[in-house]
């Protein structure tokens, strides 16, 4: 048996929540390894809907250890708020079931202020379309070595030093943007007030994972967003501020890359994107409207309407190669039910030249014209199918064509938000 890393292969919102929940029933430890509370997973278990942002999907399963790794930036108020909300739904959350890496960097109110102020000042094409939750500025502080970390909450003297260093950078920036400066004493007091609620969950994550390895436990590594939002490999600068690629699972959790295992890319049967940035197959028309309505395409965290378009095989193939995906979980196939014809992007054209990949240059990405292949649709329903025999012939042909174009096999097929409505082709835990 092997561990499993779950990542998105598009721009996020691929339906990772259900797949991670489906896999987490068999895992012993579930680790979130990057991102912040700007990402969200929706789980549906026995008709109960759980909306998670920071908490790993394993938290709703009894007997599982859920871990927030050091690669995550943690808003302590959002964390405690989410714990309280999920508890109200009947889920028991204790330091035995949840651990937060002691060396994880914190998102502070000043980060949210800076995030919103910069987006407001940017405008036009310079606007990234962030969620305004402070994730980017928090990662910047981490890299610049001025972050406040979880473990710092236990040392008031050190905490004050960290805050002084941090505000020496951010307050002049806020002032220059015409925004109020952050009050030092008020911020320190806020942190001292939240510290007793957060610190019981703090722990040494790398030791937990090493113990799991020695005992032969199965670990599920859970990513946020998607490969094309990776700060290195995505549609820069319209990306998130962390590495979403599976290589980050080792660094963001504290274990060697050999211990991460099978790489499963969650892939939607069409394409969506939230926020700004290039989107070659976007359908700003009736097709896009239909995909959005049938797929309920609104962000789990923000509620923002998602841009919708046809499946982009060029982009997913690129993501699969960069990530080293062993297989994909194809989700939301049922949204395509009833389309007379379905298009798949098989190549790009830029200034008359054909490309088999998405160039890194922003200027070229803006000029991309998709090259489409058209396939017949199907009138039958795929919703809730649990075997290949229940799928229409044309739906199977579509799946096989997707596999061929992205050069990666389908390991799991999801046909509804319910965890039971899943076709297992290959068990990721069996490698």
Contact 208, 201 (CB under 8 A): no
CA dihedral 195, 84, 52, 22 (to 10 degrees): 110
Q: Are 356 and 347 in contact (CB under 8 A)?
A: yes
Q: What is the DSSP string of 92-128?
A: ---TTTEEEETTPBBP-HHHHHHHHHHHHHH-GGG--
Query: Is residue 12 a contact partner of residue 304, using CB atoms and an 8 Å limit?
Result: no
The angle at the Cα of 290, spanning 284 to 295, to the nearest 5 degrees, equals 110
Q: How far apart are CA 409 and CA 399, in angstroms?
A: 9
SS3 state of residue 295? coil
Q: How many residues does the chain have?
A: 431
Instruction: Spell out a b/e string for 407-425, using b for 16 or more CB atoms within 10 Å of the CB, else e.
Output: ebebbbbbbbbbbebbbee
Question: What's the gap between Cα 51 and its chain centre?
Answer: 13
Q: Just list the catalytic residues.
A: 13, 41
Q: What's the order of all strands across the beta sheet hosting 262-268?
A: 202-203, 98-101, 65-68, 29-32, 219-222, 4-8, 262-268, 327-331, 410-414, 422-424
């Amino acid at each position: 048996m092997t561990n499993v890393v779950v990542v998105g292969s598009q721009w996020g919102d691929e339906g990772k929540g259900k797949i991670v929940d489906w896999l987490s029933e068999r895992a012993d430890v579930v680790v979130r390894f990057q991102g912040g509370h700007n990402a969200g997973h929706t789980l549906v278990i026995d008709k109960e809907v759980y909306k998670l942002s920071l908490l790993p999907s394993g938290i709703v399963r009894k007997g599982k250890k859920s871990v927030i790794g050091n690669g995550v930036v943690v808003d302590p108020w959002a964390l405690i708020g989410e714990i309280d909300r999920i508890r109200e739904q009947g889920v028991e959350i204790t330091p035995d079931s949840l651990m937060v890496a002691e060396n994880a960097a914190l998102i502070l109110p000043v980060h949210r202020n800076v995030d919103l102020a910069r987006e407001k000042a940017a405008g036009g094409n310079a606007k990234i379309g962030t969620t305004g939750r402070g994730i980017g500025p928090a990662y910047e502080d981490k890299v610049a070595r001025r972050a406040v970390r979880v473990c710092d909450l236990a040392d008031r003297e050190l905490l004050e030093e960290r805050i002084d260093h941090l505000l020496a950078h951010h307050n002049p920036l806020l002032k220059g943007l015409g925004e109020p400066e952050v009050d030092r004493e008020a911020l320190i007091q806020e942190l001292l007030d939240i510290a007793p609620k957060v610190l019981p969950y703090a722990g040494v994550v790398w030791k937990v994972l090493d113990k799991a390895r020695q005992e032969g436990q199965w670990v599920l590594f859970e990513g946020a967003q998607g490969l094309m939002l990776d700060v290195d490999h995505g549609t820069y600068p319209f990306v998130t501020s962390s590495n979403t690629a599976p290589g980050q699972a080792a660094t963001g959790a504290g274990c060697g890359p050999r211990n991460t295992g099978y790489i499963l890319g969650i892939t939607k049967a069409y394409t969506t994107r939230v926020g700004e940035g290039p989107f070659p197959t976007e359908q700003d028309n009736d097709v896009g409207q239909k995909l959005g309505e049938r797929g309920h395409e609104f962000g789990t965290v923000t509620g923002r309407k998602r841009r919708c378009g046809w499946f982009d095989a060029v982009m997913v193939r690129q993501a699969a190669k960069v990530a080293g995906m062993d297989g994909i979980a194809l989700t939301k196939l049922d949204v395509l039910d009833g389309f007379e014809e379905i298009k798949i992007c098989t190549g790009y054209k830029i200034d008359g030249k054909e490309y088999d990949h998405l160039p890194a240059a922003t200027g070229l990405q803006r000029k991309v014209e998709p090259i489409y292949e058209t396939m017949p649709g199907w009138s039958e329903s795929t919703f809730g199918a649990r075997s290949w025999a229940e799928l229409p012939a044309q739906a199977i042909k579509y799946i096989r064509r997707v596999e061929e174009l992205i050069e990666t096999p389908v390991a799991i097929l999801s046909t509804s938000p319910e965890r039971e409505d899943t076709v297992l082709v290959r068990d990721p835990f069996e490698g």
